[in-house]
C-alpha cells in the first residue's frame, strides 16, 4: 500500500474528486491553506496499491491546472506606492498619489467639500462582481481580479491582503459592491 498526498488548488478540488471517484479511487479531502501563495488549497489523501500511483498522478495532472500568478510581496507596498513583483523584479508599479490625483481630476467638483477620505481615494473594489476585483485609478486603470466561491464571497486571501495593505497605508478604495 502507498499513501498518495496531493495538494491542489481549491478551484480544482471538485473536478479532481469527481474524476478520482468515477475511477473508483478512494479519496479523503482535507481543507488546507498555503502561506506562500496565500490561497486556499485542498489536500487529497489516497491509500492505494503501488500500481495505482502513476494512474492517479496522471489523472491529477490532467484535471488540475497550473496557473501563473503574480505574487505581491509585503515589501511591495509603502505609504505612497505598490510594487507588484513576479519573484524576480517589479512588473507593475502603482503610485497611490497619482491614483488619487486621477480620481480628483475626474470627480473634483463632487468631492472638493467631501470628507478627507475621498481626497485619498485611489481605486475601487467590488466583492460581489464576478470575479471580485480591486481596481486602481492608474492610466490606464489597473485591475486585479480574484477567485470566488459564490457572489459576494471570496476565499482568495490575496483580495483581503491587498485591501488591508491599501487601508493600512492610509488610502481608500470605493466600495462598488
Give the Cα separation of 44 and 16 in Å (integer).
9
State the pLDDT confidence band at 73, using cuts at 50, 70 and 90.
Answer: very low
Q: Quote the pLDDT of residue 7.
A: 84
Average pLDDT across the chain, whole number: 77
Residues of the chain with pLDDT > 70: what percent?
A: 69
Phi, psi of 174 (to 5 degrees): -70, 140
Domains of the chain as residue ranges with CATH: 2-63 (3.30.70.120), 74-175 (no CATH)
Q: Quote the pLDDT of residue 53.
A: 92
Q: Quote the pLDDT of residue 74.
A: 43
By three-state DSSP, how is residue 78 classified? coil
Q: Quote the pLDDT of residue 51.
A: 93
**Tens-place pLDDT, residues 9-59:** 888 889 999 999 999 999 999 877 654 445 567 889 999 999 999 999 999
Instruction: State mean pLDDT over 108-126.
Output: 70
Is the Cβ–Cβ distance between 107 and 63 less than 8 Å? no
CB count within 10 Å of CB 115 equals: 9
Instruction: State mean pLDDT over 94-103.
Output: 85
State the pLDDT confidence band at 75, using cuts at 50, 70 and 90.
Answer: very low
Among the ranges 45-54, 66-75, 100-109, which has the highest mean pLDDT value?
45-54
Q: Is 137 exposed, middle or buried (0-12, 13-18, 19+ CB in 10 A)?
A: buried
Give the Cα separation of 174 and 119 in Å (integer).
12
Please indicate whether residue 175 or residue 165 has the higher confidence score (pLDDT).
Answer: 175
> In this model, does residue 88 exceed pLDDT 60?
no
Amino acid at each position: 500500500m502507498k499513501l498518495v498526498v496531493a495538494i491542489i488548488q481549491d478551484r480544482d478540488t471538485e473536478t479532481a474528486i469527481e474524476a478520482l471517484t468515477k475511477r473508483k479511487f478512494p479519496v479523503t479531502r482535507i481543507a488546507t491553506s498555503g502561506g506562500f501563495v496565500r490561497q486556499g488549497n485542498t489536500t487529497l489523501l489516497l491509500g492505494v496499491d503501488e500500481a495505482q500511483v502513476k494512474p492517479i498522478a496522471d489523472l491529477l495532472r490532467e484535471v488540475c491546472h497550473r496557473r501563473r500568478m503574480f505574487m505581491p510581496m509585503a515589501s511591495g507596498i509603502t505609504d505612497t506606492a505598490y510594487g507588484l513583483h513576479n519573484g524576480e523584479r517589479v512588473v507593475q508599479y502603482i503610485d497611490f498619489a497619482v491614483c488619487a490625483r486621477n480620481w480628483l481630476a475626474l470627480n473634483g467638483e463632487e468631492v472638493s467639500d467631501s470628507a478627507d477620505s475621498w481626497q485619498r481615494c485611489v481605486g475601487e473594489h467590488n466583492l460581489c462582481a464576478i470575479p471580485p476585483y480591486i481596481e486602481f485609478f492608474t492610466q490606464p486603470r489597473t485591475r486585479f481580479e480574484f477567485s470566488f466561491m459564490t457572489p459576494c464571497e471570496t476565499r482568495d486571501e490575496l483580495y483581503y491582503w491587498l485591501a488591508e495593505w491599501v487601508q493600512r497605508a492610509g488610502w481608500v478604495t470605493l466600495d462598488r459592491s
